[in-house]
Amino acid sequence: MNGLLKGKRALIMGVADKHSIAWGIAQAMHRAGARLAFTFQHEPKGRIERNVRKLLSELGNPEDFPLIACDVASDDDIENAFRISAEALGGLDTLVHAIAYANREDLNRPFSEISRDGYKMAMEISAYSLNAVARVAAPLMEQAGGGSIMTLTYNAAEKAVPGYSAMAPAKAALEAGVRYLAVELGPRKIRVNAISAGPVRTLSASAVKGITLLRRWTETASPLRANVTLEDIGNTAVFLASDMSRMVTGNTIFVDSGTSVLGSQVAALPTPDADAG
């Protein structure tokens, strides 16, 4: 994929550490020749900023990668981050939104007991934030003759997955948002898609009870019998950012070893040959 994104300028939102899906995407886009800027979530101890600065030195001279604090709950932060990154990169062609948050207790309690505030919080940070960033990205992408916006989702938007509680309706709203934004922004040549990833061990995923089981299940029962890697997700993100996906918009693309097509766990049963043995 060398050179597939040459000339493209991308803003990556959501790197927390080296396990982050956003970091897998950043590495793949960098290999494909894109110029990158990053936002990070500011927190009092500055841990995320330190992590991201360290990671950037793996890509090259950290000064070549604008890095801006941005909390997606703040419209001022968002305006500021897009202005600085577009100035530094000379425009914007691609946006990666890999951000989600729900209180740990709202992920783990029964669905009917999710608190009102916890539900709102998950919705605001994990779903509404795509609207908030797309609104600011769109005029910049229009100036560039079009662009590609992508977000990260999970199949709990469509199917009930134990342990996903408050995040499930947020992902359903996010996927609906992808379709509505695609329809609205398509005439301006801006494409909007979601990548629905299989379970990956990340900081956020550690709050989901059962992630280990989900990964084991993917290994044994998914059509491809393997867990997805950051590289697998990153490569699909490169496709979505590139002109190869010129006519792809409004979609949720599954990078999940095929798990989402299973109607039951029957694939995990021994084959007749194995039975005979």
Ligand X SMILES: NC(=O)c1ccc[n+]([C@@H]2O[C@H](COP(=O)([O-])OP(=O)(O)OC[C@H]3O[C@@H](n4cnc5c(N)ncnc54)[C@H](O)[C@@H]3O)[C@@H](O)[C@H]2O)c1
Q: How far is the CB of 191 from ligand X (least distance, A)?
A: 19
Q: Distance (Å, rounded) from C-alpha 170 to C-alpha 102?
A: 9
Binding mask 242-261 for ligand X (x = CB under 6 A): --------------------
Q: Catalytic residue numbers? A: 154, 164
Contact 41, 48 (CB under 8 A): yes
Q: Distance (Å, rounded) from C-alpha 259 to C-alpha 155?
A: 9
Q: Distance (Å, rounded) from C-alpha 89 to C-alpha 85?
A: 6
Q: How far is the CB of 196 from ligand X (least distance, A)?
A: 7
Instruction: Determine if 164 is a binding residue for ligand X (CB under 6 A).
Output: no
Give the residue with the Cβ less far from ligand X, 14 or 147: 14
Q: Which of 25, 185, 205, 253 binds ligand X (CB under 6 A)?
A: 205
> Residue 10 to residues 6, 125, 222, 253: CA-CA distances in angstroms?
11, 21, 32, 20
Q: Which of 71, 79, 105, 142 binds ligand X (CB under 6 A)?
A: 71
Q: Which of 41, 165, 235, 236 binds ligand X (CB under 6 A)?
A: 41
Instruction: Determine if 12 is a binding residue for ligand X (CB under 6 A).
Output: no
For residue 133, which amino acid is it? V
Q: How far is the CB of 259 from ligand X (least distance, A)?
A: 11
Instruction: Determine if 38 is a binding residue for ligand X (CB under 6 A).
Output: no
Give the residue with the Cβ less far from ligand X, 108 or 186: 108
Q: How far is the CB of 152 from ligand X (least distance, A)?
A: 3
Q: Which of residues 79-98 bind ligand X (CB under 6 A)?
A: 98
For residue 246, which amino acid is it? R
Instruction: Determine if 21 is a binding residue for ligand X (CB under 6 A).
Output: yes
Q: Distance (Å, rounded) from C-alpha 69 to C-alpha 37?
A: 11
Within 10 angstroms of residue 15's Cβ, the number of other Cβ atoms is 26
Instruction: Determine if 156 is a binding residue for ligand X (CB under 6 A).
Output: no
> Residue 268 to residues 13, 52, 216, 223, 226: CA-CA distances in angstroms?
36, 39, 11, 9, 13
Within 10 angstroms of residue 236's Cβ, the number of other Cβ atoms is 21
Give the residue with the Cβ less far from ligand X, 135 or 189: 135
Applying CB under 6 A, the residues found at the interface with ligand X are 14-16, 20-22, 41, 48, 70-73, 98-101, 125, 152-154, 197, 199-200, 202-205
